[in-house]
């Protein structure tokens, strides 16, 4: 997706079935046109061993930002009995700390978000203390939702900090604080996103100059915030924005990023009021049922409907939905536990929990350590585009080219069981009898016939 419409950046989709040893069992490549593909299915081999597998899907351009590819765990029952999950050897609980804006700056009020997970990567509720390197208790912390939480701290000019958890002797170090830098905080208000930027230092390279807002790789605004103020505040009106992740980045005058904050906009524009009418209901085997869905307004788009057996649903609520994937998971790095929860209601507690997700799933565009070196990551992978077919046509029995002539090219699948109809294209040769066709896409083997 790009700008809430299907993206045209990719021409191929790779879909893989991966086993628990991370070996690729199957890999299919599907042509993509305007963000969609057809025939996207995986045929499971009959001799596949039962167990837990992963479906992994990506386009080449997605590989430039590791951690953003689609993945989903599935259970497959094969010819052998399903094996029990084995314990993870050497695994242990972890707590990661994320200063709001990206860096912990000495002498300024910093909000530090954290995420605690167990050895299986699942959320872990924790409670503990933040201590200085001398062992003095600075503040307390406690997880608020799915192992996530936050706490305020003002780092002193000297020393470092670590966290301890109740019931454990483990020490978890906090990120090192910096003498010069900026803090960047964002809060939800009725009028929009309220931000606060504090600047500590005298370096011109670290002085904020612009605030840029982006959604789905589209720049929404670039607002100058220059001046000699040590504190800059403001409100970003978001009532007219689409729902999704708003990426706010503070730049210096040379347009190098200084701090970043992700925040979620939930204007409910992805929800359409509708009425389900049951015209015909028959629960007997293979009997006809008819349902009608009425919308309050004319809607143009693609729709899908899923009909399932309620008695077969093991969980009362789905942990992931189309909304949570397109608006949340696909734009964040790492694992998000039960993402559909954040779209289940509009309560303050749910919105606060969603904001913790924004703060604990990392930056998406740059690393702070690269800023000082004026270095930004370059894309390693490029989309190869669709299939290009080129060649030269010569008169039979001679080396004389079929120059400047119209030629009909007929293309059809070798396996006629997969595709009944072929395609016909009119092309023209140049003075040397050469031709070139691009933007072709087809699957499996094809046979080609030229007619003059």
Q: Which CATH number characterizes residue 104's domain?
A: 2.60.40.10
Residues 409 and 432 grouped into a single domain: yes
Judge whether 301 lies within some domain: yes
Judge whether 377 lies within some domain: no
Number of domains composing the chain: 4
Residues of the domain holding 109: 87-179
- The predicted-structure confidence for 302-331, as pLDDT tens digits, reads as follows 777 777 777 777 677 788 888 898 899 888
Residues 19 and 61 grouped into a single domain: yes
* CA end-to-end distance (rounded Å), the chain: 42
Q: Which two tokens stand for residue 33?
A: 């046109």
Judge whether 254 lies within some domain: yes
Report which of 307, 237, 294 is spatially closest to residue 265, judged by C-alpha positions: 237
Residues 305 and 171 grouped into a single domain: no
Residues 328 and 358 grouped into a single domain: yes
Residues 228 and 334 grouped into a single domain: yes
Residues 68 and 102 grouped into a single domain: no
Residues 145 and 280 grouped into a single domain: no
How many CA atoms, within 13 angstroms, populate the side-chain half-sphere of residue 378? 3
Judge whether 187 lies within some domain: no
pLDDT tens track, the chain, 452 positions: 766 678 888 888 999 999 888 899 999 988 888 888 876 678 888 888 888 899 999 998 888 877 778 888 888 887 765 554 444 455 578 999 999 998 899 999 999 999 999 988 899 999 999 999 999 999 999 999 999 999 999 999 888 999 999 988 899 999 999 888 899 999 999 999 999 999 887 788 888 999 999 887 778 999 999 777 889 999 999 999 989 999 999 998 888 888 999 999 999 988 888 899 999 999 898 899 999 988 888 877 777 777 777 777 767 778 888 889 889 988 888 889 999 999 988 899 999 999 999 999 865 544 544 544 555 567 788 888 888 899 999 998 888 999 999 999 998 888 877 666 788 989 999 999 999 988 887 777 889 998 88
Residue 131 in contact with residue 138, Cβ under 8 Å?
Answer: yes
Residues 357 and 313 grouped into a single domain: yes
Q: Helix (H, G, I), strand (E, B), or coil: what is residue 257? A: strand
Residues shown for the chain: 452
Backbone angles phi, psi at 326, to 5 degrees: -65, -40
- The predicted-structure confidence for 409-435, as pLDDT tens digits, reads as follows 998 888 877 666 788 989 999 999 999
Question: What's the pTM value of the predicted model, to 2 decimals?
Answer: 0.74
How far is the C-alpha of 443 from the C-alpha of 10, rounded, in Å? 16
Judge whether 279 lies within some domain: yes
How far is the C-alpha of 146 from the C-alpha of 125, rounded, in Å? 7
Residues 153 and 252 grouped into a single domain: no
Backbone angles phi, psi at 358, to 5 degrees: -60, -35
In the block, which residue shows the tokens 């400047």? Answer: 404
Residues 114 and 92 grouped into a single domain: yes
Residues 171 and 225 grouped into a single domain: no
């Amino acid at each position: 997706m790009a700008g809430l419409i299907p993206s045209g950046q990719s021409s191929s989709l790779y879909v893989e079935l991966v086993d628990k040893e991370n070996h690729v069992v199957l890999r299919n490549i599907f042509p993509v046109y305007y963000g969609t593909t057809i025939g996207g299915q995986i045929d499971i081999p009959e001799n596949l061993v039962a167990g837990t597998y992963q479906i992994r899907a990506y386009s080449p351009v997605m590989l430039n930002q590791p951690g953003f590819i689609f993945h989903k765990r599935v259970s497959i029952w094969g010819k052998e009995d399903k094996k029990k999950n084995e314990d993870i050897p050497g695994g242990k609980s972890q707590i990661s700390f994320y200063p709001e804006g990206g860096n912990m700056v000495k002498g300024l009020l910093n909000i530090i978000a954290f995420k605690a997970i167990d050895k299986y990567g699942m959320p872990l509720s924790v409670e503990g203390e933040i201590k200085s390197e001398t062992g003095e208790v600075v503040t307390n912390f406690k997880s608020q939702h799915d192992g996530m939480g936050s706490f305020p701290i003002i780092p002193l000019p000297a020393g470092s900090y670590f966290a301890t958890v109740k019931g454990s002797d483990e020490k978890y170090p906090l990120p090192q604080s910096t003498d010069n830098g900026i803090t960047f905080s964002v809060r939800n208000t009725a009028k929009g996103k309220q931000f606060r930027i504090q600047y500590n230092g005298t370096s011109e390279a670290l002085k904020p100059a612009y605030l840029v807002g982006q959604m789905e790789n589209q720049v929404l605004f670039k607002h100058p915030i220059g001046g000699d103020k040590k504190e800059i505040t403001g409100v970003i009106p978001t009532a007219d924005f689409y729902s999704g992740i708003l990426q706010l980045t503070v730049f210096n005058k040379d347009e190098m990023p200084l701090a970043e904050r992700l925040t979620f906009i939930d204007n409910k524009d992805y929800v359409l009021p509708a009425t389900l009418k049951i015209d015909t209901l028959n629960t007997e085997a293979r009997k006809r049922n008819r349902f009608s869905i009425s919308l309050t307004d004319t809607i143009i788009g693609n729709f899908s409907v899923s009909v399932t057996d309620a008695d077969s649903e093991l969980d009362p609520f789905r942990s992931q939905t189309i909304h949570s994937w397109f608006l949340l998971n696909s734009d964040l790095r790492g694992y998000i536990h039960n993402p559909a929860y954040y779209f289940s209601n509009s309560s303050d507690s749910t919105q606060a929990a969603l904001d913790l997700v924004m703060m604990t799933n990392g930056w998406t565009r740059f690393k702070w350590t690269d800023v000082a070196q004026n270095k930004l990551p370059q894309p390693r992978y490029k989309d190869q585009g669709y299939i290009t077919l080129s060649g030269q046509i010569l008169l039979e029995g001679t080396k004389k080219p079929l120059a400047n002539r119209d030629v009909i090219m007929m293309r059809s699948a070798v396996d006629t069981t997969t595709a009944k109809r072929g395609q016909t294209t009119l092309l023209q040769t140049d003075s040397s009898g050469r031709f070139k066709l691009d933007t072709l896409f087809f699957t499996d083997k094809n046979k080609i016939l030229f007619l003059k």
